DNA sequence: GTCTATAATAGGATAGAC
DNA sequence: GTCTATCCTATTATAGAC
């Protein structure tokens, strides 16, 4: 049953994600994590003996699972590359609610907790880049071109979330979502 | 004498910047802010009666000043657009130490303190975009094209800092620095 | 597995002497 | 303008009953 977002622990991870997304790692207090999950402090420690750090780890697992199932799986299916890419773009767009929601990965990279979660961050970013690069190669790019396009795509997604947040305007994110197909598949 | 980074208050702001950059707003404790500036807690409150929030505001002023003098002023000088842009790119590259240092603006956008500093963030990002857009227009782009290129440039700078941080590899930032001239001035 | 209660500490902020 | 000492609160974390 690996994959479905069910089970109370996965449910909790989803709520915890919301809090970390909004407040960052350091800004997320146990009080809010408790309120968001509906679990008392002691229950949280029962499920996550390592405290906040364990909770964040569970959130990374949750995100990893989401990324594999919702974003990367379509890229690996058979069929038209453009259609498969669009599925992924739609998933990302929903995930960030059209640019109104922040990225937990970015938040953890730029916040004070980078060192603590560097392996998870590295794994997430490189997994995403690799999957996009493979699609670009399939669409006709060389290995090197494919990697460059994929890296630039992830750079633009992350950057647009920062800029949209800074300007308090989802338009930059939206514009990136629109130009992703040409960026990955080439200027056809 | 507006401009030179002298005076003990500006000196303090520079040290405070370092701490906020490394730990984020919530992660920066008074203990570290005190240690970094060499000022005791009470001295900090003497200079910044509003506490941490005042310190962050001073850091924003410091950044604003740096941006005007080191990054934007070259864009507005007379002379060859490509050379002026390169001056700005070099300033940014030094500022982020080739991709090894994080961006305070991005950190505040993605951290839990966005709401508190939204006006400063908005002003910084839109000032940067406007200045780059003007240069692009001067180099032959239409108003609309100029704005689009400038926005994409800021998106790529911010995104590359996130991705470089996540991968623990400055290469993505370096690659963005290299393609900025073509991005802003057009594919000539 | 969840709760109440409580410990232990770190954090932000202030008072008052110098 | 800086220091020592202190206060208050929020925060993380644990103990032990149910």
Q: What is the DSSP letter of A78?
A: S
> Does residue A181 carry a pLDDT above 60?
yes
Q: A188: pLDDT confidence band, cut at 50, 70 and 90? A: low
In the prediction, which pLDDT does A9 show?
80
> Does residue A75 carry a pLDDT above 70?
yes
- Quick check: B153 and B131 in contact, CB under 8 A? no
Per-domain residue ranges for chain A?
Answer: 59-185
Q: A6: pLDDT confidence band, cut at 50, 70 and 90? A: low
Q: Write down the pTM of the prediction.
A: 0.96
Q: Measure CA of the first residue to CA of the last residue in chain A; give whole Å.
A: 41
- Across the interface, do A158 and B156 touch by the CB < 8 Å criterion? no
Residues 139-178 of B with CB under 8 A from A: 148, 151-152, 154-163, 165-168, 172, 175-176
Residues from chain B contacting residue A22 (CB–CB below 8 Å): 112
CATH 1.10.3720.10 fits A59-185, yes or no: no
Between residue 139 and residue 168 of chain A, the positions with Cβ below 7 Å from nucleic chain D are none
- Quick check: A33 and A13 in contact, CB under 8 A? no
Structure tokens at B171: 């290469």
In the prediction, which pLDDT does B2 show?
36
Q: How confident is the model over A32-68, as pLDDT tens digits? A: 999 999 999 999 999 999 999 999 999 999 999 999 9
Q: Which of B148, B162, B175 is closest, CB to CB, to A110?
A: B162
| Rounded average pLDDT per 10-residue block, chain B, 188 residues | 57 96 98 96 96 98 97 96 98 98 98 97 98 98 98 99 98 98 90
SS3 A182: helix
Mean pLDDT for chain A overall? 95
- Quick check: A32 and A14 in contact, CB under 8 A? no
């Amino acid at each position: 049953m690996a994959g479905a977002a069910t089970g109370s622990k996965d449910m909790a991870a989803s709520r915890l994600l919301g809090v970390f997304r909004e407040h960052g790692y350091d800004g997320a207090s146990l009080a809010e994590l408790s309120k968001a999950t509906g679990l008392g402090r002691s229950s949280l420690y029962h499920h996550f003996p390592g405290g906040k750090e364990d909770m964040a780890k569970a959130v990374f697992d949750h995100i990893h699972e989401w990324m594999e199932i919702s974003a990367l799986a379509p890229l690996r299916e058979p069929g038209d590359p453009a259609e498969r890419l669009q599925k992924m773009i739609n998933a990302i767009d929903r995930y960030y609610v059209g640019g109104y929601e922040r990225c937990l990965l970015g938040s953890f990279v730029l916040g004070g907790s980078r060192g603590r979660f560097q392996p998870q961050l590295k794994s997430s970013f490189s997994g995403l880049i690799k999957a996009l690069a493979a699609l670009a190669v399939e669409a006709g790019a060389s290995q090197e071109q494919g990697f460059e396009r994929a890296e630039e795509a992830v750079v633009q997604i992350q950057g647009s979330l920062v800029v949209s947040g800074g300007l308090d305007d989802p338009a930059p994110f939206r514009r990136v979502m629109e130009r992703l197909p040409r960026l990955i598949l080439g200027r056809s």
